[in-house]
Chains A and B, each alone.
Chain A
Amino acid sequence: DVKVTQSSRYLVKRTGEKVFLECVQDMDHENMFWYRQDPGLGLRLIYFSYDVKMKEKGDIPEGYSVSREKKERFSLILESASTNQTSMYLCASSLSAGVGYTFGSGTRLTVV
């Protein structure tokens, strides 16, 4: 089975801190994604990457950046954390459009 591992289940950070959320997949997938999940809003795409060093903005990229230096690792960066970035963050990877995604367990980030 494909595994997508998010390094932290829970994080508490202070306003203004730089925050790194790490995601690693073990099945050589080309595509990787970062979503945030909020009650009543479902999952919203922040950034995605279809190859090493390639990235594209999703629907809500403001306040975030990403890094993909190796195929298996996709990092989400909050340059200066704010309270409205308190959320559940989900990483996913996929081989192709028809296969669907494999998700990590999520990181619940609280910014105080």
Chain B
Amino acid sequence: AQSVTQLDSQVPVFEEAPVELRCNYSSSVSVYLFWYVQYPNQGLQLLLKYLSGSTLVKGINGFEAEFNKSQTSFHLRKPSVHISDTAEYFCAVSEITGTASKLTFGTGTRLQVTL
């Protein structure tokens, strides 16, 4: 069975500083990987995804993530954060098998950006 570990429950960072949110996954088969963002009182919005090909993927709002198969990681990065990036971020994995595209989510990382 697939699983996802987000190593940090909270990440405080100053505005304009770089940030990395860590995500590790476990699966016995090939996977698709996703990052979602949730702003207060809203549903989840897709930030970016890795399906195949280049291991560095770029998403919305200046975020990017790198897939590392040997370390089973998919860390999210942004070189310079803004106050508006304050939100909760979820990493998710989907095994490439089966009839429905079940996603398994991590427990989330709350990014708090301050001045």
Contact = CB atoms under 8 A, between A and B. Distances in A.
A49 B9 CA distance: 31
B44 A101 contact: yes
B43 A50 contact: no
In this complex, the interface size class of chain A, counting residues with CB under 8 Å from chain B, is 20 to 34
A80 B85 CA distance: 39
Interface residues of B, number: 26
Interface of A: 4, 30-31, 33, 35, 40-45, 48-50, 56, 58, 90, 92, 94, 96-106
Cβ-closest 8 pairs across A and B: A97-B101, A103-B43, A50-B100, A42-B107, A43-B105, A103-B44, A105-B43, A42-B105
B100 A56 contact: yes
Contact of B43 (A48, A97, A104): A104
